[in-house]
């Protein structure tokens, strides 16, 4: 459910107290097995992550660890998908130029997991309850059209449900299944909160209660277990959800991968066209050289 009534957040505001007030105005009392899903924008505003910038590009450069892909748009602008200094891979490093003061842009929280832990501690201090906190942001996804929310920061919620080694109902061991619970919760919250409605916070209830039962996993011994662990220790956070190193199969776009393989610096963002009628080894070599230089 959305929690309306959160005012415009400014640097230095006590965001935890604003969340507690919003819950009270909704006629609710927080429980240990609740999850507060909070848009990263209001977290960043409270933490003073707004910076002066003539344009978004310079701020994106400053927040970029690695360029994954860069493409030109029909209007002449360029869009980039990068690994941000805050951790996740996002378009434009998550730098936001919408709904901010003119002449400024908003950066992501510097350490989203730390932000989630601090919010959770403050809410617990004010209410005595220890609900989980998910700091969420919007992202696109490889192979899928459209955007959804994912978890940038997590405290008090099992971010990943690793069922590798357990067996399915036919007795076959599962080898690759790791459920992205925190991302699913972030996307769930996004269904009810939104920029236009001025509701940057959602409350998810029942996820960790007895009414949320995991599907049967045969002899895995979890038939009656809660769907997710909610309300326990802060945990590893959302940092565990970011693929890095050898597990990152998508470190570069196809053009950037050619450049990286050839040891060339970033340059033109569009690959040369392919002529199927003349797609010889020599033509492929010329295209690779064109991309690299």
Tokens representing residue 114 in the block: 């730390």
Q: State the DSSP string of 159-182.
A: S-EE-TT-B-TTSPBPSS-EE-HH
CA dist 39 and 114 (Å) reads 15
* Lowest mean per-residue pLDDT among 96-100, 158-162, 210-214, 254-258: 210-214
Q: Which residue has the higher pLDDT, 147 or 102?
A: 147
User: Which pLDDT belongs to residue 194?
Assistant: 75
CA dist 204 and 253 (Å) reads 36
Does the pLDDT of residue 262 top 90, yes or no?
A: no
* CA count, 13 A, side-chain hemisphere, 71: 12
Q: State the DSSP string of 47-103.
A: TT-EEE-SSHHHHHHHTEEEEEEEEE-TTS-EEEEEEETTSSEEEGGG-B-SSS-TT
Q: What is the pTM of this model?
A: 0.83
Does the pLDDT of residue 211 top 60, yes or no?
A: no
Tokens representing residue 22 in the block: 């919003």
The percentage of residues in the chain with a pLDDT greater than 70, rounded to a whole number, is 88
Does the pLDDT of residue 226 top 70, yes or no?
A: no
Does the pLDDT of residue 78 top 70, yes or no?
A: yes
**Per-residue confidence at 266, pLDDT binned at 50, 70, 90?**
low
* Lowest mean per-residue pLDDT among 24-28, 92-96, 187-191, 194-198: 194-198
- 110 three-state secondary structure: coil
CA dist 193 and 115 (Å) reads 20
Q: Would you kindly state where each structural domain of the chain is located, as residue ranges?
A: 1-49+109-246, 50-99, 252-293
Element (H, E) at 216: none
Does the pLDDT of residue 20 top 60, yes or no?
A: yes
Number of Cβ within a 10 Å radius of residue 59? 22
- The radius of gyration computed from the CA coordinates of the chain, to the nearest angstrom, equals 22
The rounded mean pLDDT for the chain is 84
In this structure, CATH architecture of domain 1-49+109-246:
2-Layer Sandwich (3.30)
Owner of token pair 């979890």: 222
């Amino acid at each position: 459910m959305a929690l309306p009534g959160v005012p415009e957040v400014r640097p230095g505001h006590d965001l935890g107290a604003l969340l507690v007030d919003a819950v009270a105005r909704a006629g609710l009392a927080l429980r240990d097995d609740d999850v507060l899903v909070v848009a990263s924008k209001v977290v960043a505003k409270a933490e003073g992550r707004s910076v002066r910038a003539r344009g978004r590009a310079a701020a994106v450069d400053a927040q970029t660890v690695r360029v994954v892909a860069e493409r030109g748009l029909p209007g002449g602008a360029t869009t980039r998908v990068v690994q941000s200094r805050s951790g996740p891979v996002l378009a434009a490093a998550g730098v936001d130029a919408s709904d901010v003061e003119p002449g400024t842009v908003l950066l992501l929280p510097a350490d989203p997991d730390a932000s989630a832990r601090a919010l959770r501690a403050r809410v617990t201090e004010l209410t005595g309850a220890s609900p989980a906190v998910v700091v969420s942001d919007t992202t696109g996804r490889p192979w899928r059209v459209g955007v959804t929310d994912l978890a940038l920061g997590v405290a008090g919620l099992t971010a990943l449900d690793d069922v590798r080694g357990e067996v399915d109902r036919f007795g076959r061991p599962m080898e690759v299944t790791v459920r992205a619970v925190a991302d699913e919760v972030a996307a769930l919250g996004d269904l009810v909160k939104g920029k236009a409605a001025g509701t940057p916070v959602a409350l998810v209830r029942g996820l960790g209660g007895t009414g949320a039962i995991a599907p049967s996993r045969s002899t895995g011994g979890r038939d009656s277990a809660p769907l997710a662990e909610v309300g326990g220790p802060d945990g590893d956070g959302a940092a565990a959800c970011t693929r890095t190193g050898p597990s990152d199969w998508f470190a570069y776009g196809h053009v950037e991968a050619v450049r990286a393989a050839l040891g060339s610096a970033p340059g033109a963002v569009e690959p040369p066209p392919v002529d199927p009628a003349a797609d010889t080894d020599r033509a492929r070599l010329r295209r690779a050289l064109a991309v690299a230089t």
